[in-house]
Amino acid sequence: MAECGSRYQLTVIAQPGIQSEINQPDVYESPASYFEAVYQIFQYGEQADSDSNSHFFNIDGQTINLRFAGSALTPRIIPALEHIQGIPTNSPQLTICLWDSASTHFPFPLHPWSGNSSSAFGEGFHSHEGRIHFNDGRFRMYFYMDDMILMLDSHEGKAIFWVEDAQKLPYHESGAPLRSLLDWWFSNNDRQFVHAAALGTGKGGVLLIGRGGSGKSTTTLACLDSPLQIAGDDYCLLTSKPSPYVHSLYSTAKLDPLDLNRLPHLKTDISNADRLESEKALFFLYKRHPQKIIKGFPLRALLIPCITGETQTSIKPASSIAGLMALAPSTIFQLVNEGSTSFDFMSRLVREIPSFHLDLGTDLAQIPATIIELLSNYQ
Amino acid sequence: MSYSQVFRINSPTIIHEVIEGEAVIINMEKGHYYSIDHTGAGIWELVDKRASADEIIQSITQCYAGDPKSIQNSVIDFLAELQRENLIVPTSKETDDQTHSGNVITPNERLPFTPPELHKYIDMQDLLLLDPIHEVDESGWPNVGPDIN
């Protein structure tokens, strides 16, 4: 990279033997100018790679357009979202631009705090171990070391998802891709990203809430052989008006390998069977069980699962505060938007929707039957 | 601790909710969260109304049946524990725009007094450490973190 007056040039080798230069300012005066510079890099990458591709999804009536520069990230992002594919449009509410530098050779421009010298680019971008999160109400930006950068312009409905190397994307990002960007975009007073599994039918369903290891995923997968459908295993979107409603985001499920013995018939569905020593088993449910995935349903109850070791599964009323205790901390500490806003949403929710303790038995067939019986009281 | 001491909830670090006489409190910085029972939730609500320690003791003594000295000691101990956990911080009543007005517990219930308990949960702390997205700082442009040169 060579310094060029008040601008610098990024030298890009988009294809072997083909070298191009992109002029970028060395000082960014505002979040908008920085965002635009990043977007320009993406556009160059998108145009330069013949494998660039675009996909549309629909969540709660909003069309999300994912534009990939190159194709390395596509198979790591798209499969979890296939069940909510939408119709292409020229005016999506949110456009997310995705690329990685390893495959496209288009790097990320200077960090906005990196000063105005060319040497600051290398040092500023690569040498820091910190993480930076910026939010001025319109722009949100998140810099995670030199591995991942997320940016959202909430006014323009435009977002950036960049990683250094698509091949190094963690498996759980493929299971619940783009969740921070979607959380930023969707969460407001009437919508809330939550950490919960969601099971039901078109007439209504439940959220399974609680910390990891409480039995949410086992319950979710145990319902594959039941009339219940799945709207999510780890995360889903809630709307509150006119009444609480669950919207599916991801058609995946993750299960601790130790729990696979309880669901041995699912072993052939595992997408990462060769990496279970270090990863949870990841299932792309829509691919193998498309009829079991539902895009959403009215929310009828909050269930707090607990593995008991008993044979029987039973259900009993829980206090609203127990529901809030199970739902709020794990959501807030995984999916922080504005913590107080999220907490207010969930506080209103537990006042409106009844909570129950779901004591999970070892006879897995009883679990969906118990939930179905509960739901019959609310339909 | 002075009996005239007034506290406030340590917002915005602390977010909290009281429902049906029980409270959930979350420390957004440390990843800790807490629950408190009926007596403790009543004290918490009085703190939120900027009642002084003495006013809280009086209110709890009126609302619960029990030895006044034991109630006094329990309330003071509980306030001290809330302060140690940085859930509440001392403030001055003169500068407050919120003031204590009346009991938050119905006096004619007169339930037997049970010492308030603060239940602390730290199982989310690891999540906070693992998930860097929570390192939120929302001022200025560019916003440089402390570890950035």
pLDDT tens string A175-205: 999 998 999 998 766 789 999 999 999 999 9
Pair (A211, A172) in one structural domain: no
Domain final residue pick, A143, A177, A211? A177
Would the pTM of this model clear 0.90, i.e. be above it? no
Predicted local distance difference test score (pLDDT) of residue A3: 38
Burial class (CB in 10 A: 0-12, 13-18, 19+), A10: buried
Pair (A271, A314) in one structural domain: yes
Q: Which of A142, A211, A339 sits opposite B15 (nearest CB)?
A: A339
Contacts of A131 in chain B (CB under 8 A): 132, 135, 145
| Interface ipTM above 0.95 | no
Pair (A221, A321) in one structural domain: yes
Cα(B125)–Cα(B134) distance, integer angstroms: 12
Q: Is residue A185 part of a domain?
A: no
Q: Is residue A110 part of a domain?
A: yes
Pair (A205, A229) in one structural domain: yes
| Spatial CA neighbour of A292 closest among A301, A304, A283 | A283
Q: Is residue A52 part of a domain?
A: yes
Q: A113-149 b/e with 16+ CB inside 10 Å = b? A: bbbeebebbeebbeebeebbbbbeeebbbbbbbbebb
If you measure CA to CA, which chain B residue comes closest to A181?
Answer: B133
Cα(A108)–Cα(A11) distance, integer angstroms: 11
Higher pLDDT, A8 or A314: A314
Q: Is residue A186 part of a domain?
A: no
**Quick one: pLDDT band at residue A129, thresholds 50, 70, 90?**
very low
Pair (A347, A259) in one structural domain: yes
Give the whole-number percent of chain A exceeding pLDDT 90.
Answer: 64
Inter-chain contacts counted by CB atoms under 8 A, chains A and B: 106
If you measure CA to CA, which chain B residue comes closest to A351?
Answer: B19
If you measure CA to CA, which chain B residue comes closest to A342?
Answer: B15
For chain B, what is the radius of gyration of the CA atoms? 18
Partner-chain contact A320 B20, CB within 8 Å: yes
Q: Is residue A152 part of a domain?
A: yes
Pair (A297, A351) in one structural domain: yes
Pair (A65, A160) in one structural domain: yes
State how far residue B81 is from chain A, nearest Cα, in angstroms.
Answer: 21
- CATH number at A245 reads 3.40.50
Q: Which of A133, A321, A328 sits opposite B136 (nearest CB)?
A: A133
Kindly state whether B145 is in contact with chain A, defined as any CB-CB distance less than 8 angstroms.
yes
Q: Is residue A212 part of a domain?
A: yes
The values of phi and psi at residue A179, to 5°, are -70, -30
Partner-chain contact A135 B138, CB within 8 Å: yes
Domain final residue pick, A177, A200, A234? A177
Pair (A244, A203) in one structural domain: yes
Cα(B17)–Cα(A163) distance, integer angstroms: 38
- Would you mind telling me the total number of residues written for chain B in this entry? 149
pLDDT tens string A77-95: 999 999 999 999 999 999 9
Predicted local distance difference test score (pLDDT) of residue A326: 93
Q: Is residue A314 part of a domain?
A: yes
Q: Which domain holds residue A214?
A: 191-378
Q: Which of B23, B31, B132 sits opposite A144 (nearest CB)?
A: B132
Q: Is residue A255 part of a domain?
A: yes
Pair (A206, A271) in one structural domain: yes
Residue holding tokens 């997968």?
A: A221
Average pLDDT for A124-132: 46
Q: How many domains does chain A have?
A: 2
Domain final residue pick, A129, A146, A177? A177
Pair (A225, A355) in one structural domain: yes
Contacts of B17 in chain A (CB under 8 A): 321, 324, 343, 347
For chain A, what is the radius of gyration of the CA atoms? 22
Q: Which of B19, B128, B141 sits opposite A321 (nearest CB)?
A: B19
Predicted local distance difference test score (pLDDT) of residue B94: 59
| Spatial CA neighbour of A207 closest among A344, A290, A304 | A304
Pair (A159, A203) in one structural domain: no
| Spatial CA neighbour of A184 closest among A146, A135, A145 | A135
pLDDT tens string A278-337: 889 999 999 999 999 999 999 999 999 999 989 999 999 999 999 999 999 888 887 656
Contacts of B134 in chain A (CB under 8 A): 333, 336
Pair (A221, A156) in one structural domain: no
Query: Tens digit of pLDDT per residue, chain B (149 long)?
Result: 788 899 999 998 899 999 888 999 999 888 889 999 889 999 999 999 999 999 999 999 998 999 999 999 999 999 999 999 999 999 986 555 555 555 556 555 678 999 999 999 887 766 555 544 433 333 344 433 334 33
State how far residue B21 is from chain A, nearest Cα, in angstroms.
Answer: 9
Cα dihedral sign for A319, A322, A328, A331? negative
